[in-house]
Chains A and B, each alone.
Chain A
């Protein structure tokens, strides 16, 4: 898995609530059998019209905004369990998603791919939206070790929660399979206890 340690980048604001995984990557693009290439269709129906022309009012088509941090509204990633949503966001070039609330499955999928979901308060989220709108060149620092997210233009900082195990996975690039494979004896013991 891809490591994540620290990042300083500009951000792309998407101040919409309940961004579901069907918006992130519509079902008709789930026919691929590899993990790569989903970024081309990230937010496809918001990003392109029926003739695959870019819709100029969508933020990914606005050259003013760019960066490795996607900032979304409340309940980001709700809906389907498709991990393709996390792959699409990462494949497009984002390493961090910030929201005031994440849907469970999306959050897990993101963490399993080295895409860092950062949950902040509603107020801090608004703060980011305001600051990025005021100055799209605003740099944001994300430090996983310290669990902080900082608006470098104002110095505003928030801390974020992350499960300590998941944190160490991200910092070291380990995944859950590596972890469980090391626990084979415990699994065998459990199965034996059930068979009895």
Chain B
């Protein structure tokens, strides 16, 4: 019997597999950042160990950096200390750092791909659950805790149980105004925030195959939001075209050899998945979440579910979520007034996201009562946006283009949504207080977020696109 893509990559990276023990899995690339690495470096010091393969380790500062005035020292003392600690640790242990001020700095899951460090067929880990993003290139990529960061720094290996495999097929043509973000929010709303736990998910089908690399990254990014450790997409010509010529991608003969290897990265036709789910692209409309986990999502024209539609045991949690959000069961969300729009995060901060927003808001003006932030995923994205003149479009429309970082996705820095305020956010989590204590988050696509910024309330972007067409 054939193998799934996950099995092929897994098997190629098993150092040792003994009955009764987890596999020792070799890690090709390890990304680290300032928040989940200091205790790991401390652990190395206590054990008297070096970083085993420093050249396979890449660091950046992203979670805890300001998104204004990055050329100046970080004002907040604890944040500055943590970022300085990363600089110190990288210098001491010989790890390459793309820190603040470096032209390659940015959100770890944006810079890996754009620098050509993320390569098909590889194993990639990072102390961040959205490491699944890199799966868009046909990688086994997953988030780990700090003890495991220490383990990879010390040994370039991880002890891991072989995961179960799930295939999610999406077929058909997406309607106008429906994007990759809507696909993944739709899938999560169907299988729940825990529906993928224990699995690696392979996304396939004609809809997925038609997507750009940026869109594929958006999909794989949110695999963790259904509990899956990782998600991946078989690499194809779109993947190879994206990788070719990037800073650290193989060149010349090495490129040819790599391409030969990568062309074998697909699930065999007779491979058996533990679970297969199929969705039709035509059923997907622009999505929005109403609750406090990413599984609580719905089509934008829909109504919030009724209490009675929830399983009995889940009704208290459901009510708690609606109460927190200040919304009613059975009600629509269209027309709901909002206060903030955040376009950014490792889910939606790439150049394609920014272009899409710029195209949509061109010639429009944001609502005066909405604060609209656009936080690019990296210095390179920021630079490209400026070169393309997108910054001027955003400025004219009243959107603020800031500097790169994780920003209001998790509100570790000062970019917080105030208590009680509503934010339409292109990020990945709508947990209670995620964007700041008592903030309220509606997750959506960049287009839906941009539309809400313009009108000041939750809006069906498709209606506005029709208006545009008639002008």
Contact = CB atoms under 8 A, between A and B. Distances in A.
B15 interface: yes
B159 A80 contact: no
Contacts of A33: 38-39, 42, 81-82, 85
B412 to A, nearest CB: 5
A27 interface: yes
B15 A183 contact: yes
B273 interface: no
Contacts of A179: 159
A45 B433 contact: yes
B390 to A, nearest CB: 29
A23 B145 CA distance: 17
A164 B22 CA distance: 10
Interface string B139-162: 000011111101100111111010
A163 interface: yes
Contacts of B129: 79-81, 105
A186 B432 contact: no
A139 interface: no
Contact of A122 (B154, B227, B313): B313
B136 interface: no
Interface in B19-50: 20-22, 24, 26, 35-36, 38-39, 42-43, 47
A122 B154 CA distance: 39
B317 A16 contact: yes
Given A16-B320, A26-B433, A103-B194, A165 B22 contact: yes
B410 to A, nearest CB: 4
B146 A83 contact: yes
Nearest to A22: B431
Interface in A62-109: 73-75, 78-84, 86, 101, 103-105, 108-109
B109 interface: no
B147 A112 contact: yes
A101 B20 contact: no
Interface in A95-150: 101, 103-105, 108-109, 112-113, 122
Interface string B410-422: 1110000001000
B148 A180 contact: no
A23 B430 CA distance: 12
A109 B128 CA distance: 13
B105 interface: no
A177 B149 CA distance: 10
B400 interface: no
Given A18-B293, A26-B433, A103-B227, A181 B154 contact: yes
B78 interface: yes
Contact of B155 (A30, A34, A112, A181): A181
Contacts of B292: 18
B161 A163 contact: yes
Interface residues of A, number: 55
Interface in A3-26: 15-18, 20, 22-23, 26
A179 to B, nearest CB: 7
A104 B412 contact: no
B38 A45 contact: no
Contacts of B63: 27, 30
A119 to B, nearest CB: 11
Nearest to A190: B15
B438 interface: yes
A74 B194 contact: yes
Contacts of A195: none
B363 to A, nearest CB: 37
Contact of B317 (A17, A27, A113, A164): A17
Interface in B243-269: none
A121 to B, nearest CB: 13
B225 to A, nearest CB: 8
Contact of B159 (A16, A101, A180, A184): A180
B161 A180 contact: no
Contacts of B21: 165
B429 interface: yes
B397 to A, nearest CB: 29
Contact of A31 (B158, B314, B412): B412
Given A78-B293, A101-B194, A31 B155 contact: no
A86 B145 contact: yes
A103 B146 CA distance: 16
A81 B155 contact: no
A64 to B, nearest CB: 19
Given A23-B432, A28-B412, A187-B24, A83 B145 contact: yes
B144 A81 contact: yes
Given A35-B39, A50-B419, A177-B151, A20 B22 contact: no
A54 interface: no
Contact of B145 (A79, A112, A122, A165): A112
A103 B197 contact: yes
B367 interface: no
B145 A81 contact: yes
B332 to A, nearest CB: 24
Given A104-B198, A113-B147, A31 B36 contact: no
A35 B432 CA distance: 24
6 contacts: A45-B433, A74-B313, A83-B127, A112-B148, A176-B148, A176-B159
